[in-house]
Amino acid sequence: MARVRQLLKLEEEIRQLKKKFEERVDQRSAELQAANDELQALTYSVSHDLRAPVRRIGGFCKLLLEDFAPALPAEAIAHLKRIGDETRRMGLMLDDLLDFGRVERQPLHLVRTSLQHMIVKTIAELEDEVGSRHVEWKTAALPRLECDPRMVKQVFHNLLSNALKFTRPRPRAVIEVGRTGPRSAPVFFVRDNGVGFDMQHASKLFGIFQRMHRAEDFEGTGVGLATARRIVQKHGGRMWAEAEPHKGAVFYFTLGPPVHVNSKMSSSKVRDRG
């Protein structure tokens, strides 16, 4: 009997420890969620409120150059041009930061979507970026699946635009969109033959305002990949990359069960979109 009582006492102690642990985890999760919400609100407020003064600075620089350039020394004109360039760059950073904030705040609206149609449309929208360049697009057959079409389209747009940018030094760019893995859990990818990057610095790849190349060589704010990965994460998936310097890069992602679904829509009421 003494042995049984000891076992029962031990079992009760384990239950109490488990209960305390679960309560602590719930408390920490709530604290982290609150901190994350506050950070998102602050990020949105700062980026939104900074847009107007930044644009005013750029506007005044433009007025000075247009109205007073003949009376200004060459050095002053050069300084004003640098200020104008930097304010434009800051404006783009703020716009991208606002886009990232919108992704964080907006719920998913699930629709049965043709990824094949989405890719064709996205490539057509990038024709202005292609210009006179020789770009070969390779697209495999992609499935229809349940996702937020507007958000997933942004993922493909960001990855394809990224591929276009970093294949610019190539006389013939090759950009491939495809899928691998089983039908039940497909892995999508965007591959290019661009400049690539060193995987030793891959930890910076999806960070906001983190860049793998010099701004003088390739434009951009470093937010596009962070936004794409966040959209994938909201769909319950993950994103990663493989690359070598001067040998191109490939970005992979999955789209699993959504983690933040619009409460007004259940999986049984998902609409279909061509």
pLDDT greater than 90 at residue 158: yes
Compute the Cα dihedral for 140, 142, 148, 150 and give only its sign: positive
Per DSSP, the three-state class of 174 is strand
Identify the band that residue 269 occupies on the pLDDT scale cut at 50, 70 and 90: very low
pLDDT in tens, 202-231: 777 887 766 666 665 566 666 888 889 999
What is the set of domains in the chain, with CATH numbers?
1-105 (1.10.287.130), 111-262 (3.30.565.10)
Residue 238 CB partners (closer than 8 Å, separation 6+): 232, 253, 254, 256
Largest Cα–Cα separation, the chain: 102
**For the chain, what percentages of helix, strand and coil (3-state, to nearest 5) are there?**
55, 15, 30
Return the pLDDT at 263. Answer: 34
**Of all residues in the chain, what percent carry a pLDDT higher than 70?**
82
Q: Which residues of 159-191 are buried (b: 16+ CB within 10 A; e: fewer)?
A: bbbbbbbbbeebeebbbbbbeeeeeeebbbbbb
Nearest to 98 by CA among 219, 218, 221, 262: 221
Q: Give residue-wise pLDDT tens across range 8-17.
A: 778 888 888 8
Mean pLDDT of 45-65: 82
In this predicted structure, the answer to whether residue 103 has a pLDDT above a threshold of 70 is yes
Q: What angle do CA 184, 187, 191 make, to 5 degrees?
A: 155
Q: How many CA atoms lie within 13 A of 159 on its CB side?
A: 28
**Cβ atoms of 193 and 248 closer than 8 Å:** yes
Q: Which two tokens stand for residue 1?
A: 């009997």
pLDDT at 175 exceeding the cut of 70: yes
Rounded-to-integer distance, Cα 258 and Cα 22, Å: 24
pLDDT at 159 over 90: yes
CA atoms lying within 13 Å on the CB side of residue 54: 17
pLDDT confidence of residue 271? 44
**Among all chains, which residue has been given the structure tokens 């064709």?**
120
Structure-block tokens of residue 52: 């107007």
Residues 80/64, Cβ–Cβ less than 8 Å = yes
Side by side, which strands form the sheet with 249-253?
135-139, 173-180, 187-192, 249-253, 239-243
Q: Could you give the 3-state DSSP secondary structure of residue 112?
A: strand
Report which listed range, 164-168, 223-227, 264-268, is most confident.
164-168
Give CB contacts under 8 A, 24+ apart, made by 52-58: 54/87, 54/90, 54/91, 54/94, 55/87, 55/91, 57/83, 57/87, 58/83, 58/84, 58/87, 58/88, 58/91
pLDDT class of 36 with cuts at 50, 70, 90:
low
Residues in the chain: 274
The three-state DSSP-derived secondary structure of 187-225 is: EEEEEECCCCCCHHHHHHCCCCCCCCCCCCCCCCCCCHH
